[in-house]
């Protein structure tokens, strides 16, 4: 369940207090955790993956798949839960994905890889999400 928007931090300093240093680097500064280091890379537990910053529901576990890319991968998100932004950093063009509720960085989305029937891979940092196993 999403945190009430009125309780969301309104400044980056407020986010810095709420999040761990690693979470802040990824969620608020668009950082990336090292491949294969995240707690959810190989997780098979059923449930709902929520935004670690605000608690908004993002990805049902049924949309998670093994992409062997080093980060948790999902072939779809809950409609309206994720927004896409053009990312021109690091000398390439990618599509960044952010939580639509709190604007925190989740990762990037890639299309055309033919890894699933939906032909989409949301490559998400484990530090950006939190699994709620009760909400399967």
- Candidate list 51, 54, 99, 123, residue with the active-site label: 123
SS (H, E, C) the chain: CCCCHHHCCCCHHHHHHHCCHHHHHHHCCCCCCCCCCCCCCCCCCCCEEEECCCCCEEEEHHHEECCCCCCCEECCCCCCCEEEEEECHHHCCEEEEEECCCCCEEEEEEECCCCCCCCEEEEECHHHEEEECCCC
Q: Which residues are paired to 33 by β-bridges?
A: none
- Our answer to whether residue 69 is catalytic in this structure is no
Q: Which residues are paired to 97 by β-bridges?
A: 84, 107
Q: Which backbone phi and psi does 60 adopt, to 5 degrees?
A: -70, 145
Active site residues: 123
């Amino acid at each position: 369940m999403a945190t009430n928007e009125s309780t969301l931090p309104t400044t980056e300093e407020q986010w810095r207090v709420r999040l761990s240093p690693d979470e802040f680097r990824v969620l608020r500064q668009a950082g990336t955790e090292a491949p294969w280091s995240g707690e959810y890379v190989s997780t098979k537990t059923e449930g709902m993956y929520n935004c670690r910053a605000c608690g908004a529901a993002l990805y049902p576990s049924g949309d998670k798949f093994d992409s062997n890319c080093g980060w948790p991968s999902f072939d779809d998100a809950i409609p309206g839960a994720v927004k896409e932004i053009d990312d021109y950093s690091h000398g390439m063009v990618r599509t960044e994905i952010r939580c639509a509720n709190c604007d925190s960085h989740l990762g990037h989305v890639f299309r055309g890889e033919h890894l699933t029937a939906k032909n989409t891979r949301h490559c998400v940092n484990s530090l950006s999400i939190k699994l709620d196993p009760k909400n399967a």
